[in-house]
Amino acid sequence: MHFYEIEHMPGNKFNGNSNVPTSRISRLLELRQLKRTSRASLNEVSDNSNSPEPGSGHDFSRVEQYLEDAVAGSPPTQRLLVVANRLPVSAVRRGEDSWSLEISAGGLVSALLGVKEFEARWIGWAGVNVPDEVGQKALTKALAEKRCIPVFLDEEIVHQYYNGYCNNILWPLFHYLGLPQEDRLATTRSFQSQFAAYKKANQMFADVVNQHYEEGDVVWCHDYHLMFLPECLKKHNSKMKVGWFLHTPFPSSEIHRTLPSRSELLSAVLAADLVGFHTYDYARHFVSACTRILGLEGTPEGVEDDQGRLTRVAAFPIGIDSDRFIRALEVPQVQVHIKELMERFAGRKVMLGVDRLDMIKGIPQKILAFEKFLEENPYWRDRVVLLQIAVPTRTDVPEYQKLTSQVHEIVGRINGRFGTLTRVPIHHLDRSLDFHALCALYAVTDIALVTSLRDGMNLVSYEFVACQDEKKGVLILSEFAGAAQSLGAGALLVNPWNITEVAAAIGKALNMSDEEREKRHQINFLHVTEHTAQEWAEFFVSELNDTVVEAQLRITQIRPALPVECAVNNFLDCSNRLLILGFNAALTETIDTPGRRGGDQVKDMNFKLHPELKGPLSVLCNDPKSTIVILSGSRRSDLDNNFVEYDMWLAAEHGMFLRHTRRGDWMTTMPEHLNLDWIPSVYHVFEYFKERTPRSTIELRDTSLVWNYKYADFEFGRLQARDMLQHLWTGPISNASVEVVQGSRSVEVRPVGVTKGSAIDRILGEIVHSKPLKSPIDYVLCIGHFLEKDEDVYTFFEPELPCENASHPRSKGAFDSSKLAERAPPKPPANRSGSKGSHGKGQRSSSNSNSNSNSEKVTNNNHNNGGLSRKQQQQQQQQQQQQPLEKTSSWNVLDLKKDNYFSCAVGRSRTSARYTIGSSDDVVSFLTRLAEASSSSSSSSSVSSTSTP
């Protein structure tokens, strides 16, 4: 398989190459190597021909050139639409149709600076309100020169969407600060309006993307501001390649489930093809939330829904443009800064903190830990200084104002306590530094303190390491920052809430030997220089492209939806119809469980027939041309309670018990010597695990046992099921003739060979004995929500078994009725269990095999009646064909053409059935159509027979 198999997909480097690696990892590794080789050659050319002049490197010059000009060298192979809340420029209006644009070099811009394969277009809000059309056109034109596309949001939307839902709801929750503690009613009302604005703003972003999207583009959505965007884009164009990346932590499922809109947000994000996070912990939390809240299946690859669609979820740790920082240290302007700082702090160890003045950054905890260190280490009071850069943010929010006052109070108290007339232990700045000054500060620092209480990644730690190749300072890093996953080997990891631990880490860093400092630095420096922001961007988009290819391959394994019109029309054209219907999840009442699978356990366990099915079932059961069979794993009592009023066949416990509702009691098809001695010991095991697993249930049947953990915690239930299986196979059933069938959330133990497919022979035999058939069955409809083990019921009627279904055991199939004529119909037993039923088995019929069997019948008749003339033989055959089927010497029960067989799985798209159908509600709609068609057909026949003289 080629890396990009689709011919129109841009960036196809492997088309025509027969030696391409077949696995996804192999493809990505080869692509990664090709990119590194290409980048190395480009960098060599760049270093030889475009060496920067000393002192000429303005911080925004590379960003400006990147946004304005096409990438030098070979043209990009693919367009990338980067969608973020803010554009990488700030706009200031100078006149009615004049705008001044200021470049802002964010981490995302830096990440894409060195990516040569993609031509990026930026879509986002420009940060200003532009209500008039003239201003919007002028700003759009000015931004187009920077390869930026604006989304115009009015002030009310910005207030409700950005300041409200994003910053007041999602951001605190994702950082474990919880939802705002306001008056309950006021919070509810504001939440509803903010959430509505959030969805509206996401749709506005989607509208702009749709206007500029071209076939083959990759759309990369960023951060918690745009969680609804993937769903909006996919609704407009399901073939669009969409990725979503979160730059903050994703909280545990127990935190996320407190959000009122939890399910909607998760479902919207899952519309993306690839979902990325900075660390595995965040990805794991996201998958866990989808499992626990939405009830979906979490896999090693991501999250799979009930229809078999997979959303890949993976960790992509971001980096920085390390070369930019390393080169900056050689700029004369930075060298001057370094010299000044070294003279200013001569004889003292420099500790540095660079943070936004935010609650999650742990600035008070950091300063208090430094105070404790000074208390316990008088020697260092005049020999160490803490430089804390606190960049103000959200200065209009009362909580942030309170934090600022708190930090200033602590700093003043410590400086007053340990400072002198000429020296203070803490230098605190409430402002940001320009790039060159910051690089110089990193270079002279001995210890960097990053004490975030919760941080998505924190690239300050990366920047510090990149600037420390000469001094080899020590990094003290919070274990709650995402960077701890990447730089934990060389850093000193601390819990910022443990003031004593942080103070001890400061002492360890100050007294660390040169050899240890160098080893720790080399480990981190190697990671920072190899895992750059450009590598991160290339890796994500490459994974996204390959994920789309894999999704397209998976689609080939997904069955199409049931063609309702075709099924109804063919139903009308056939004269002898067999309808095999499942019960659970196919005909049962739909349970409303918003936000959580299996939420209403009491209702869900009642196994009630869908109320809207009573009318259609009555019509179909009264149709003389149709035979209805309910084939279920449920108990006989459950089927009796729901179907006793209908004229149909019931097959309980996978066909172990059969009954016609109008012709007698239950009869059994069990083998005479079936051993059920294992049931008590297995029930004892099930009962033990039921006690250990809250909300799990046991269903005791006559011939099988089912342990169901649908309503329990999914992950815990799955672990318990694994333990149960190990115990069963090594203990109670080690020598028993049983098999264990594991469902999505259940474990069933039943006799060997019991499947719904194997029960079809018996059911057809009973139908033939009880209902004289003057013609073969020429239409079969089979609908159910069956376990994979029972899906042989779908392939039973297949004339030709598809190759991909080879893993499913094929039943012995349809049979001729000559064997049925040799034995009398079984009598219903006096007791409930009944007697042994018939097992008609023989050769599978199809349109082709039917003609062959007719030839055989002619040959047999000629042999048995050799003295008859040909005319007499033909008359005898006509007389036999006019007799009921059970009296015929040889007859095929099925004469089924391929177009008249409709097997359909309910709620599953990867199945052995030919078609799929969404839910029991869709089954109701379809059976209603069949009932209407049956009624109209019967009415037409009555009119025709009445009018015929």
The 8 Å CB, 24+ separation contacts for 806-813 are 808/912, 809/755, 809/757, 810/757, 811/755, 811/757, 811/758, 811/760, 811/761, 812/761, 812/841, 812/842, 812/844, 813/843, 813/844, 813/845
pLDDT digits (tens, 9 = 90+) for 245-291: 999 999 999 999 999 999 999 999 999 999 999 999 999 999 999 98
Q: Which of 473-482, 624-633, 663-672 reaches the highest mean pLDDT?
A: 473-482
Which is nearest to 291 in space by CA: 595, 88, 723? 595
Element (H, E) at 849: helix 847-864
pLDDT at 941: 61
Q: Record the tokens describing residue 351, joined without a space.
A: 């500790």
Specify the 3-state DSSP secondary structure of 460: helix
241-251: per-residue pLDDT in tens? 999 999 999 99
**Residue 30: band (very low, low, confident or very high) from pLDDT cuts 50, 70, 90:** low
Residue 442 has pLDDT above 60, yes or no: yes
For residue 104, give the nearest of 149, 142, 145, 59 by alpha carbon. 59
> What residues does 836 pair with on adjacent strands?
668
- pLDDT at 452 > cutoff 70: yes
Is the separation of the CB atoms in 11 and 217 below 8 Å?
Answer: no
pLDDT band, very low/low/confident/very high, at 588 (cuts 50, 70, 90) = confident
CA nearest neighbour of 705 among 724, 677, 728, 686 = 686
pLDDT, residue 34, reads: 62
479 close to 493: Cβ distance less than 8 angstroms: yes
Query: Which distant-in-sequence residues (6+ apart) come within 8 Å of 420 by Cβ?
Result: 382
How many angstroms separate the Cα of 102 from the Cα of each of 3, 151, 658?
40, 17, 79
Q: Are 508 and 449 in contact (CB under 8 A)?
A: no
Q: Tell me, letter by letter, the H, E, C secondary structure of 306-331.
A: CCCCEEEEEECCCCCCHHHHHHHCCC
CA atoms of 535 and 860, how far apart (whole Å): 77
Inter-CA distances, 272 with 151, 266, 288, 595, Å: 21, 11, 17, 20
Q: Is residue 335 pLDDT above 60, yes or no?
A: yes
- What ranges make up the beta strands (E) of 73-195? 78-86, 89-95, 98-103, 118-125, 148-150
Mean pLDDT of 66-93: 75
Confidence tier at 31 by pLDDT (50, 70, 90): low
Instruction: Look at residue 281 in the predicted model and tell me its pLDDT.
Output: 94
- Per the CB < 8 A criterion, the answer to whether 332 and 54 are in contact is yes
SS3 label, residue 166: helix
d(CA 752, CA 736): 9
Q: Quick one: pLDDT band at residue 61, thresholds 50, 70, 90?
A: low
The structure tokens listed for 446 are 């001995």
Q: Please give the average per-residue pLDDT across 303-324, as a whole number.
A: 88
96 vs 820: CA distance, rounded Å: 92
Mean pLDDT for the stretch of residues 353-380: 96
Task: Tell me what pLDDT residue 56 has.
Answer: 33
What are the Cα distances from residue 778, in Å, to 266, 621, 774, 853?
46, 17, 12, 16
d(CA 288, CA 251): 10
* pLDDT band for position 162 (cuts 50, 70, 90): very high
List C-alpha distances in Å: 349 to 176, 438, 447.
Answer: 34, 17, 8
- The two tokens of residue 58 are 């303005």
Residue 567: is its pLDDT beyond 50? yes
DSSP state of 663: S
Tokens of 751: 């006799």
Between 52-56, 132-136, 333-337, the lowest mean confidence (pLDDT) is in 52-56
Q: What's residue 529's pLDDT?
A: 94
Give mean pLDDT, residues 593-604.
52
**Buried b or exposed e, range 791-814, using 16+ CB within 10 angstroms:** bbbbbbbbbeeeeebeebeebbbb
Angle between helices 398-418 and 363-376 (to 10 degrees): 10
pLDDT of residue 812: 36
Question: What single letter denotes the amino acid at residue 704?
Answer: S
**Would you tell me how many other CB atoms lie within 10 Å of the CB of residue 435?**
17
What's the pLDDT tens digit per position in 902-942?
Answer: 999 998 777 888 999 988 889 999 999 999 998 887 766 65
Tell me, what's the pLDDT at 28?
Answer: 59
Q: Which of 454-468, 513-527, 766-780, 876-890 has the lowest mean pLDDT?
A: 876-890
290 vs 797 pLDDT, higher one: 290
Instruction: State yes or no: pLDDT of 853 exceeds 60.
Output: no
Tell me, what's the pLDDT at 428? 95
Q: What is the pLDDT of residue 776?
A: 85
> Contact, 314 vs 276, CB < 8 A?
yes
On the question of pLDDT at 110 being above 80, the answer is: no
pLDDT at 473 over 90: yes
Q: Among the ranges 6-15, 470-479, 704-713, 753-762, which has the highest mean pLDDT value?
A: 470-479
Percent of the chain residues topping a pLDDT of 70: 77
Per-residue b or e along 199-210, where b marks 16 or more CB atoms closer than 10 Å to that residue's CB: bebbebbbebbe
**Closest C-alpha to 446, from 511, 377, 369:** 511
What pLDDT was estimated at residue 601? 60
- At 64 the pLDDT is 64
* Pair 163, 190: CB distance under 8 Å: no
Most confident of 302-306, 676-680, 839-843, 891-895: 676-680
Question: According to the model, what pLDDT value does residue 840 have?
Answer: 34
Q: Are 250 and 174 in contact (CB under 8 A)?
A: yes
CB 582 within 8 A of CB 786: yes
* Residue 700, helix vs strand vs coil: strand
Q: Helices (H) and strands (E) in the chain — how many of each?
A: 33, 29
Q: Give the pTM.
A: 0.75
pLDDT value at position 755? Answer: 81
Instruction: Identify whether the C-beta of residue 320 lies closer than 8 Å to the C-beta of residue 466.
Output: yes
CA gyration radius for the chain? 36
Q: Is the model's pLDDT at 198 over the cut of 70?
A: yes
pLDDT at 52 over 70: no
Which structure tokens are listed for 862? 């000629």
Q: Is 348 exposed, middle or buried (0-12, 13-18, 19+ CB in 10 A)?
A: middle
Scanning the structure block, which residue is given the tokens 């069956």? 786
Note the pLDDT of residue 600. 58
User: What's the order of all strands across the beta sheet hosting 746-751?
Assistant: 697-700, 705-708, 746-751, 738-742
**DSSP β-bridge partners for residue 297:** 304
DSSP conformation letters of 227-270: SSHHHHHHHH-TT-EEEEE-SS----HHHHTTSTTHHHHHHHHT
Q: Does 858 score more than 60 pLDDT? A: no
